Amino acid sequence: MTIACGAIILAAGQSRRMGFNKLLADYQGKPLVAHVVDAVEAADLPAIVVLGHSAQEIRAALTPSRAHFVLAEDYREGMGRSIAAGINAAPRDWQAAIICLGDMPLVSPALLRELAGKASSSAILVPVFEGRRGNPVLWGRDHFHELETLQGDEGARKKISRLDSRLASISWHDDSILRDFDTPETL
């Protein structure tokens, strides 16, 4: 039986290291963040895009999309607040959410489908390539309350290390789960 699972795409950041909004940067003919949304939609998952910095521009860059948009009013406080906004917007029937980073355009629909296929309300599932944990990470509903309390720029990494005994992993075949675009050189 398949459980209800969706994706939360974090697209609220200020791109301080990049010097401009990297999510709107052209990558292979379209905005960087559009690759992530396209992968989620190709995986047949519902999507919530968390907006903040440049909200109108990012929403416009993702039109048309089936994604639901939510504004993280306190996005300036860091990624933790953006994750919380996305989790708070998740429909009640979602038993799991895959947290996707808007600056990881190489994440594939196949990976997202594999994560969703292993979803449960108690799961924390992380992809691993050559022993290194990557993104996106699937969180079961049992852990949503912990994600709603994230503060500052901590993201969910601290929660993962605290919940290590509950963590499961899937082996992934390439480094796409490790590659984000944070500087002009990486883009």
Could you give the count of Cα atoms lying within 13 Å of 67 in the half-sphere of its Cβ?
33
pLDDT per position as a tens digit, 8-27: 999 998 766 666 688 999 99
Amino acid at 185: E
User: In Å, what is the CA distance from 124 to each residue of 25, 76, 118, 155?
Assistant: 31, 27, 10, 15
pLDDT per position as a tens digit, 114-138: 999 999 999 999 999 999 999 999 9
Q: What is the largest CA-CA distance in the chain?
A: 46
CATH number of 5-177: 3.90.550.10
The pair phi, psi for residue 179, each rounded to 5°, is -100, 105
Return the domain boundaries, the chain.
5-177
Q: Model-level pTM? A: 0.92
